[in-house]
């Protein structure tokens, strides 16, 4: 996923006048830097519209239950760092009801755009489980997530944190932080896009989209009015 030219004027006749003016001028006051106002706190739910080459996906980010992960995503949106990123991977699981798997997008470590990694928010803390339509942070080890994420096409409970697991990875799981509210047909179209049989390393080999699907823009959008509020307006 940031000369000046020294001009020397030789004005011997004017120099005494210049010195007199500077001597009479009042001393300059030190200019204090004013810190920028603090950012407004995010609402419990933030909706964003992700416009892709295949169509638009609308997503609700659960700031209330996953403030670190959802807040991180909003920050990338507000800085417009996600504009031009791609969906680059489609993991297709052969078992279970189809479609089964996920698509993955993000900045892939672009040093010009990637911000600092964030702390890990396990599902055992947030209560947001890996269901169809869920957004989940991509990472290596816990605490390395930054600007890559997945959208699930099916329930994948194996990604949830399992405190009873015998290994650290299973105990940590992945951080879920939002869900798709419209555009799952677009998610499916991306998942169905052609894959390269040779691109990718390790378990990702054969899962890389070719070509990747470009994301044009990602922007905050207004949440729809609550039914009660809408009824009151009608009256």
> What pLDDT is attached to residue 226?
76
Task: Give me the CATH number covering residue 198.
Answer: 2.40.100.10
For the chain, what is the largest distance between any 2 Cα atoms, rounded to a whole number of angstroms?
A: 93
> What pLDDT is attached to residue 203?
87
Domain total for the chain? 1
Domain range enclosing 75: 45-222
* 60 found inside a domain: yes
* 16 found inside a domain: no
* 91 found inside a domain: yes
* 38 found inside a domain: no
Among 67, 118, 108, 68, smallest CA distance to 88 is for 108
> What pLDDT is attached to residue 5?
41
* 2 found inside a domain: no
Instruction: Classify 234 in phi/psi space as left (phi over 0), alpha (psi -120 to 50) or beta.
Output: alpha
- pLDDT tens, N- to C-terminus, the chain (235 residues): 444 444 433 333 433 333 333 344 455 666 666 666 667 899 999 999 999 999 999 999 999 999 999 999 999 999 999 999 999 999 999 999 999 999 999 999 999 999 999 999 999 999 999 999 999 999 999 999 999 999 999 999 999 999 999 999 999 999 999 999 999 999 999 999 999 999 999 989 999 999 999 999 999 999 998 776 555 555 5
């Amino acid at each position: 996923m940031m000369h000046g030219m020294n001009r020397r004027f030789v004005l011997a006749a004017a120099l005494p006048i210049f010195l007199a003016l500077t001597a009479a001028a009042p001393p300059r006051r030190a200019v204090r830097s004013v810190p920028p106002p603090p950012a407004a706190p995010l609402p419990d739910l933030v909706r964003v519209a992700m416009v892709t080459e295949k169509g638009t996906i609308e997503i609700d980010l659960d700031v209330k239950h996953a403030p670190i992960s959802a807040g991180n995503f909003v920050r990338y949106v507000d800085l417009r760092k996600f504009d031009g990123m791609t969906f680059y991977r489609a993991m297709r699981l052969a078992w279970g009801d189809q479609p089964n798997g996920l698509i993955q997008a993000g900045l892939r470590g672009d040093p010009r755009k990637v911000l600092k990694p964030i702390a890990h928010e396990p599902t055992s803390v947030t209560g947001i489980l890996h269901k169809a339509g869920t957004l989940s942070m991509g990472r290596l080890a816990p605490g390395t997530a930054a600007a890559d994420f997945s959208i699930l096409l099916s329930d994948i409970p194996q990604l949830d944190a399992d405190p009873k697991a015998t290994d650290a990875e299973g105990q940590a799981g992945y951080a879920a932080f939002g869900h798709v509210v419209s555009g799952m047909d677009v998610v499916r179209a991306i998942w169905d896009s052609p894959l390269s049989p040779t691109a990718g390393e390790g378990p990702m080999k054969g899962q890389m989209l070719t070509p990747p699907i470009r994301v044009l823009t990602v922007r905050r959008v207004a949440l729809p009015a609550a039914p009660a509020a809408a009824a009151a307006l009608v009256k």
